[in-house]
Amino acid sequence: MASLWFMLVLCLTTWVSVSTTPDKTIFDPLGDHGGDKIIFKPYENHGAPKSSHDSPKGHHDAPKGSHDSPKGNHGAPNAPHVAPKRGGSTPKGPRVSPKQKQARPFFVFGDSLVDNGNNNFLITGARADMPPYGIDSPDHSPTGRFSNGLNIPDVISEYIGSEPTLPYLNPQLTGQKLLIGANFASAGVGILNDTGFQFLNVLRMPLQLEYFKEYQQRLSLAIGDEKAKQLVNRALVLISLGGNDFINNYYLFPGSARSQLTSLSDYVTYLIVEYRKILEKLYELGARRVIVMGLGPLGCAPGERMQHSKTGDCATDLQAASALFEPQLTQMVQDLNAKYHADVFVAANTKLMNYDMISDPKAFGFKTSTTACCGQGPFNGLPGLCTVTSNLCPNRDEYVFWDAFHPTERACRIIGQQIMNGTHEYMKPVNLSVIMAVDSKM
């Protein structure tokens, strides 16, 4: 059971069955089913080789105490962090055709897995605005992302041929920048409004959706109502929610109010009902292509391993929560698509994507999935303690986890590859490459 250290936890690791009809409506651009509809055959010439996801080995990499820091940069709190040269075959965004390079707008909602800096503009404990966060970003400085460099939305921006979206609270989001889209995500939030209360000032989901409405009003003033509606309708949307509702709510501390009042099974069902309302609101606000990220293997994050095991085993209660949540999320997405008679929502099985790397890190070129690159304590898993005084690994590309709960840039790139090209096991009903191919014919 989790301890009071969860009061410091920054938001989470994250972490759908398709109709068997061979020909199906994938996109209804007007949303009222009165316009042109695109028909496709699922995964025709767009599949990707299935990657293995064997069960975890019976042993785990043990923490090695402190990690060597990049030369001459990690010991004095005010010393700048200098990133070493990075090797390996970290996946990059694909080459796209000239037509695909006409970047589509991109909107992002959710928690710290996808937040790219909104919390920098808030008075909150859930911030990533200090070194060594951002050590592998272009200027080696913190950006507000809970990463050593890029995060999952940044990787997807590369795939769709766009520059990264700006945080909605960033004053630079004006003029032509509005046409790129916006990131509304905020570290610490969950599906439920009382999740992450310990972080105080964060953009909870009702506020993120309200800001999305405000964005559309600003966009309408800039390009007119009709063009603004069309831009939103053809945009790609990414949302990541749910992990904090377990780590920073149900399992926040032993005997939490939620866990005393509600069984885990009933709680998961309640979360799915509330999540559906959020997705329906996104549709009401014009979203027509939404990638819904699932949970990750919550109990396998270094922060949870530290809390629950001296040998590095995954936390069984949080693993049980992930196992209950994922199939219900899949079914909910399928039900919504049936309601709207189009594949508006796409379920990304990020639980399996992450589990592949965690269960067999060496198959993906990682050294460990048990210990975080940056942190303190066993497995570098003390929540909230990736700071200038922390242990810091010299090569981030060798680690699945950057800090106690968040993946490294390289792990994010592997997840991005699966979102782009993953088989039906990972992306239901279709992957992003199919979406781009179909939508390019509109």
Q: For the chain, what are the domain ranges?
A: 4-50+87-439
The 10 Å CB-count burial string (b at 16+, else e) for 264-295 is: beebbeebbebbbebbeebbebbbbbbbbbbb
Q: What's the CA gap between 429 and 379, in Å, rounded?
A: 37
For residues 278 and 205, the answer to whether their CB atoms sit within 8 Å is: yes
Tell me which of 46, 69, 74, 112 is the catalytic residue.
112
Are the CB atoms for 46 and 431 separated by under 8 Å? Answer: yes
Selecting among 115, 343, 403, 439, the annotated active-site residue is 403
Q: Is 225 a catalytic residue?
A: no
Give me the pLDDT at residue 103, please: 80
Instruction: Report the DSSP beta bridge partners of residue 392.
Output: 374
- CATH homologous superfamily, domain 4-50+87-439: SGNH hydrolase (3.40.50.1110)
33 is catalytic: no
Peptide bond into 378 cis (omega under 30): no
pLDDT under 50: residue ranges of the chain: 1-90, 92-101
- Residues near 270 by Cβ (< 8 Å), separated by ≥ 6? 262
* Set 53, 60, 406, 439: catalytic member: 406
CA of residue 6 relative to chain centroid, distance: 20
pLDDT score of 356: 97
| Active site annotation includes 341 | no
